[in-house]
Amino acid sequence: EPSHPGSIPPFHYGSHYSSAGIVLYFLLRLEPFTTEAIRLQGGRFDVPDRLFRCVPSTFASCLSDSSDVKELIPELFTTPACLRNQAALPLGRTQAGQPVGDVLLPPWAKGSPEAFVRLHRDALESDHVSAHLHLWIDLIFGWRQRGRPAEQALNVFYYLTYEGAVDLEALDPTQRGAVEAQIANFGQTPSQLLNRPHPRRRPRG
């Protein structure tokens, strides 16, 4: 809770795991997302160093940078084309001089977007992930989404991302427009569906 009226409640993450910007980041190489990404950046592609260009470096960033909490999107488990620059988009070169084209993949994919998607999906559907899926549900939809349990799980996001955090009807048009833009561009936490721990998935028989 805020320490006094008008203050912003404390949070762990100023960015969000699910937003339109993250979808455009991952799907930059596919239309209509290419056009939308250019529109978001005022008519041009973002700086090459900020584009999705390498799976291992993106993964490492999410593990080490608390401001980078991207959640994987379904296409990374289903759509190899999102990893190829089939349209030869002019994505530029990084500060190190490396051209940005196809997305660089982990060694185990052996340079194949099809292999990456297949193995990535196999991992998602594995017994290990199934055995821990309830923990993710607790954080995103369940009892660890809000309040003291969320604090203990280091799972608190900027207050405007939460449903019902602001009464939009009570705001003047300018304030309401700013808040709605914040929600649209930076993400919104789903509705909390559960208030007790989700049961672990039963082992496959």
Higher-pLDDT residue of 161 and 75 is 75
Q: What is the mean pLDDT of the chain?
A: 92
Q: Is the pLDDT of residue 37 over 80?
A: yes
Instruction: Name the pLDDT band for 124 (thresholds 50, 70, 90).
Output: very high
What pLDDT score was predicted for residue 168? 85
What is the pLDDT, as a whole number, of residue 87?
97
- The whole-number pLDDT of residue 171 equals 87
pLDDT in tens, 83-113: 999 999 999 999 999 999 999 999 999 999 9
Q: Please check the confidence at residue 3 and state whether its pLDDT lies above 70.
A: no
Residues 6 or more apart in contact with residue 29 via CB below 8 angstroms = 81, 82, 83, 84, 85, 86, 87, 89, 103
Distance, CA of 120 to CA of 99 (rounded, Å): 25
Residues 6 or more apart whose Cβ sits within 8 Å of residue 155: 12, 139, 144, 145
Q: pTM, whole model, 2 decimals?
A: 0.87
The long-range contacts involving 109-117, CB below 8 angstroms and separated by at least 24 positions, are 109/55, 112/80, 113/80, 113/81, 113/83, 113/84, 114/80, 116/55, 116/80, 116/83, 117/76, 117/77, 117/78, 117/79, 117/80, 117/83
119: pLDDT confidence band, cut at 50, 70 and 90? very high
Longest CA pairwise span in the chain (Å): 57
pLDDT of residue 136: 96
Residue 2 has pLDDT above 70, yes or no: no
